[in-house]
Structure 1
Amino acid sequence: MSERRVTLAAVTGAHGVTGEVRLKIFADDLGRYQRFNDGALTLKSLRIIPKGAIARFVEVGDRNAAEALRGTALTVPRSELPPLEAGEYYHFDLIGLPAEADDGTALGHVVAVENFGAGDVLEIERSGGKRFMVPMNADAVPAWDDLRLVVNAAFVE
């Protein structure tokens, strides 16, 4: 089984005539990565701009080639991401996890991680499609791992 891929940015279009592309960035430090999409794209330069970034890839030499990349997700293997400290998590690691109450009752699965300014909030979808939200803190979510997320029953709607 191949390693899980993580999308760090997406190409939104060409920039200029020399092969640069505009990027929408989903990561804090895109510049630390040099190779994307299993080595198909090698980062040559990166400029951060207010609405994302402008990048040049070794393999892209003109505007037509840059425009052909529109919509391309730039991915890296999960193992290339910085290691996490205890209690830290990547949002994409939580999305899709089965959720259960601390009494063992199945609740559904995590469909989104939002942040409205006061910390992360998990959106959990039940099997019938109804959704509810819980804060991602030690009181509401006392435990999680690669296999499941445990929610304090007092926070379940």
Structure 2
Amino acid sequence: MAAEITLAVVAGAHGIGGAVRLKLFTPSLESLEAHRVFLAGDRALTLIDIRAEKTGAVARFAEVKDRNAAEALRGTLLNVPRESLPPLEDGEYYHADYLGREVQAPDGTVMGTVRTIENFGAGDILDITLTSGKSAMVPFTAEAVTEQGDQLIIDPIWLT
């Protein structure tokens, strides 16, 4: 399991006063508001203010004073320690727990690794980098994916 969980990424500067646009990886803005300090690489960022916008959020951090400093954060992941998050309910998971995990066929053959998890509106989909170098998208459902320890088992029929 990941020691830190990414809640957002800085998409760029917003205005001239040091605010940043965020792409959220949480189900709601409230999930982000629950935290005051974010781990951003080798530094901490202290949240002053955050508000929703159409494509994510706009935030201000105490350590970011102007547009140049805000623009320098573009692409920076905003993480929190895993232990600061609420316990998961049945059927919930953190994407970070699956990224990079090995995918195997039922016979143990390594098929690839999970690159990312997408959701285009109909449910979560595992984006898998296959050992052949190609990629495959598999619905993240009990019918398509089972877990055995740290391994994800997927019938090869889903990978064609």
TM over 0.5: yes
**Which residue of 2 is the match for residue 20 of structure 1?**
19
Aligned counterpart for 2:111 among listed residues 78, 102, 107:
107
1:126 aligned onto 2:125 = no
In the TM superposition, residue 154 of structure 1 has moved relative to its aligned partner by 5.0
SS of equivalent residue, structure 1 residue 66: helix
Within 5 Å, which residues of 2 pair with 1:80-95?
Answer: 80-95=84-99
More deviation, 65-74/120-129: 65-74
Segments of 4+ in structure 1 off by > 6 A? none
Return 5+ residue gaps in structure 1 as ranges. none
SS of equivalent residue, structure 2 residue 138: strand
Within 5 Å, which residues of 2 pair with 1:135-154?
Answer: 135-143=139-147, 145=149, 147-152=150-155, 154=157
How far apart, in 2, do the equivalents of 1:87 and 1:144 lie? 16
How far apart, in 2, do the equivalents of 1:143 and 1:67 lie? 41
Q: 1:33 to 1:18 in 2, by over 3 A?
A: same
Quote the sequence identity (%): 51
Aligned counterpart for 1:55 among listed residues 40, 59, 63:
59
Say if 2:6 and 2:96, in contact at 8 Å, map to a contact too. no
Return 5+ residue gaps in structure 2 as ranges. none
Structure number, greater radius of gyration? 1
**Normalised TM-score (structure 2):** 0.77
1:117 aligned onto 2:121 = yes
**Which residue of 2 is the match for residue 34 of structure 1?**
36
Q: 1:87 to 1:140 in 2, by over 3 A?
A: same
In the TM superposition, residue 144 of structure 1 has moved relative to its aligned partner by 5.0
How far apart, in 2, do the equivalents of 1:156 and 1:20 lie? 43
How far apart, in 1, do the equivalents of 2:134 and 2:75 lie? 31
Report the count of equivalent residues: 154
Say if 1:123 and 1:131, in contact at 8 Å, map to a contact too. yes
**Which residue of 1 is the match for residue 9 of structure 2?**
10
Q: 1:154 to 1:16 in 2, by over 3 A?
A: closer
**Which residue of 2 is the match for residue 72 of structure 1?**
76
In the TM superposition, residue 18 of structure 1 has moved relative to its aligned partner by 3.5
SS of equivalent residue, structure 2 residue 145: coil
After superposition, give the CA deviation of every residue in 1:39-86 in whole Å (9 maximum; x if it has no partner). Answer: 621111111111322212222334444344343322222333332223
How far apart, in 2, do the equivalents of 1:71 and 1:100 lie? 32
How far apart, in 1, do the equivalents of 2:137 and 2:74 lie? 34
1:46 aligned onto 2:46 = no
**Normalised TM-score (structure 1):** 0.78
